[in-house]
Amino acid sequence: MTQVESFIVGQGIGSKIFYAFVRGIVMVFSKIYFRLTVHGKENVPTTGAFILAPIHRSNVDTPLASAVTRRRLRFMGKDSLWKKKPFAAVLSALGGFPVTRGSADLEALKRCLKVLASGEPLVMFPEGTRQSGQTVHPLFDGAAYLAIKASVPIVPVGFGGTEDVMPKHSKKILPKRCAVVVGKPIHPPKPDQGRLPRSATSDLTNQLTIELQKVFDEARRRVE
């Protein structure tokens, strides 16, 4: 196993204990500082791999995603962050795994597939970078492609209030109320006689867009 592969799938019990400890601190802080509420946690699979697909409006979206489940969530990060071993170990324990900046999208998707094959949940922000506003921006097809390829469900997640907590380009974290709403899992289509129509990925992306808008709207209503 290469060093990169070990960062992707080689996670011991110690790193999971560390993740649980850090997550606990984040949750206590979030409930006090953001008055965080979480709705729909019963929709999160308790076993097996899945793709968590949240809306993306703030830097705080990433740590708040961990509020939906006690299971460790996996995130992509630029591989330069893994250059120093102590820091790399911390990042990996917190669920990160390296992806080469500027590499072909296919290579990043292959690494995501390895994470899913290991049985762990993967976080993908389908809008890509942070966006603004109350409408879901056009989604990339990556989450749908991986869901079909790995035969795992996509779980849509809406955040309410996070854009007010830390708007794009802001360095301040304001004590605004936040809510997280988890939608029901979206299961990918199953191939008919080994084949899926060419539109399967785009159709699943369109379905995700609709469900993501629903949970986003509900999350915003929770903080009004």
pLDDT in tens, 194-220: 688 889 999 999 999 999 999 999 999
Is 82 in contact with 88 (CB distance < 8 Å)?
A: yes
Other C-beta atoms closer than 10 Å to the C-beta of 142 total: 20
Q: Which of 116, 125, 112 is nearest to 55 (CA)?
A: 125
Angstrom CA distances, 138 to 33, 55, 208, 220, stand at 31, 11, 11, 19
Confidence of residue 76 (pLDDT cuts 50, 70, 90): confident
Q: Rounded distance, CA 169 to CA 205, Å?
A: 28
pTM of the model: 0.90
The answer on pLDDT for 85 being more than 70 is: yes
**Per-residue pLDDT reduced to its tens digit, 171-193:** 899 999 999 999 999 999 987 76
Residues 34-75+103-222, CATH architecture: 3-Layer(aba) Sandwich (3.40)
Angstrom CA distances, 137 to 134, 155, 208, 214, stand at 9, 17, 12, 13
